[in-house]
């Protein structure tokens, strides 16, 4: 039981780190879209691609409101 409990704790810790990383990428992507909307660099491309992994399935169900503004 001790080994299984430690395994589950380790998996939960890894999952928490991954979720926090995705949250960070989504927030940074939103901020960068306001700060430099038409500029492209490698960092922004990486952050946008990681954030889009989570946001694209959500965008299919929630339509855009006005132009490119989505909620």
71 neighbors 65 (Cβ within 8 angstroms): yes
Residue 64, pLDDT score: 65
Residue 52 included in any domain: yes
pTM, two decimals, is 0.74
Q: What is the pLDDT along the chain (71 residues), one digit of tens a residue?
A: 889 999 999 999 999 999 999 999 999 988 888 888 777 888 888 998 999 898 888 877 776 666 666 55
How many structural domains comprise the chain? 1
Q: Which residues contact 28 (CB under 8 A, 6 or more apart)?
A: 47, 51
Residue 69 included in any domain: no
Range of the domain at 48: 2-60
């Amino acid at each position: 039981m001790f080994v299984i409990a430690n395994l589950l704790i380790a998996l939960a810790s890894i999952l928490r780190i991954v979720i926090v990383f995705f949250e960070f990428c989504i927030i940074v992507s939103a901020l960068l879209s306001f700060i430099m909307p038409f500029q492209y660099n490698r960092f922004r491309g990486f952050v946008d691609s990681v954030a889009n992994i989570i946001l694209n399935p959500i965008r299919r169900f929630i339509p855009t409101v006005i132009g490119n503004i989505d909620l």
